[in-house]
Copies of this chain bind each other. A is one copy, B any other.
Amino acid sequence: MDAVTIDFFEERTSRAEVLIEGLPGIGHVGKLVAEHLIHELDARKVAEITSCYFPPQVIIEGDGVARLARNEVYLSEGEHPAAFLVGDYQSTSGEGHYVLAEAYLDVAQQMEVRRIYTLGGYGVGHLVEIPRVLCAVNRAELRGEVEAAGGEFSEDEPAGGIIGASGLLLGLARRRSLDAVCLMGETSGYLVDPKSATSLLRVLSALLGIDVDSTQLQDRASEMEQVIARLAEIHQARQDDELSYIG
């Protein structure tokens, strides 16, 4: 079996100008913004990604149908088509993070994207009145454009590093001569954070040159809170029951 399986739904891979990654992470800021954009831009699902590096479980959907834990690629129509990478989980192992990030880049290159945006949260451990959007790039020349859009660069934050797909995509894309920008919304990190997501969406919209309504971010955050609570419950159950498998 392959460590990662990518299933494209359409015979001919569609092109996109950018790939926007919003996988689960701190405060679920990236996930919230990416899923909001998918909804607002009416993007359609074009691929599913499964992997033995995702947790060994299925998700049960509302109709009682089980499906593998997975990541998904969506594509928006229009003059400037954008691809979105969202999903249930990130890798369960360190090596898997690298293997999956390379697979995501393969998808990006198949879709001929010219730039990758990775979205995440920057956890500060306390409530934030006006969340900043901290940024990183994988080529110095990208910095000016990001600052013009309202993104901030801070020499001391995020304490030197970005963990998981949002970080690795920048590092590994550089090797493929692919531009990548990471946007991190400042957040307490405790809950799904619509305020941080609103700040992040503002900067991303400016970079994409589109206008996106953010009024539904609050509602979407509440829904997501529930879904995430359920996934966390499974994770807890998995750890509790680990002994069940072995005796």
Question: What residues make up the interface of A, taking CB atoms closer than 8 Å to B?
Answer: 1, 3, 23-28, 50, 52-53, 55-60, 62-69, 89-95, 97-99, 101-102, 123, 135-140, 143, 153, 155, 158-164, 167-168, 170-172, 174-175, 182, 189, 227-228, 230-235, 237-238, 241, 243-247
- Chain B residues closer than 8 Å to A234, beta-carbon distance: 159-161, 163, 247
Given contacts A65-B138, A163-B241, A189-B244, 6 further A-B contacts (CB under 8 A): A56-B168, A66-B171, A163-B237, A189-B241, A233-B247, A235-B246
Cα–Cα distance between A93 and B66 once the two chains are bound (Å): 22
List of B residues within 8 angstroms of A98 by Cβ: 1, 52, 56
- A102's closest neighbor in chain B, by CB? B1
**Interchain CA distance A81-B143 in the complex, whole Å:** 38
Contact indicator A136/B171 (Cβ below 8 Å):
no
Q: Which of A98, A227, A231, A244 has the most CB of B within 10 A?
A: A244
Q: Are B164 and A26 in contact (CB under 8 A)?
A: no
Q: How far is the CB of A139 from chain B (nearest CB, A)?
A: 7
Complex formed: what's the CA distance from A123 to B95 in Å?
30
A101 vs B56: C-alpha distance when bound (angstroms): 10
Given the interface pairs A95-B52, A161-B58, A237-B163, the reply to whether A66 lies near B136 with Cβ below 8 Å is: yes
Within 8 Å by CB of A174, from B56, B67, B241, lies B67
**B66 in contact with A140 (CB, 8 Å):** no
Specify which chain B residues have a CB less than 8 angstroms from the CB of A52 in the assembled complex: 94-95, 97-99
B1→A245 contact, CB < 8 A: no
Task: Find A245's partner among B60, B91, B233 (CB 8 Å cutoff).
Answer: B91
With a cutoff of 8 Å between Cβ atoms, the chain B residues found around residue A23 in the complex are 245
**Which of B24, B153, B163, B171 has a CB less than 8 Å from the CB of A64?**
B153
C-alpha gap A155/B58 in the complex (Å): 15
Report if A246-B58 is in contact (Cβ < 8 Å); known contacts: A135-B64, A163-B234.
no
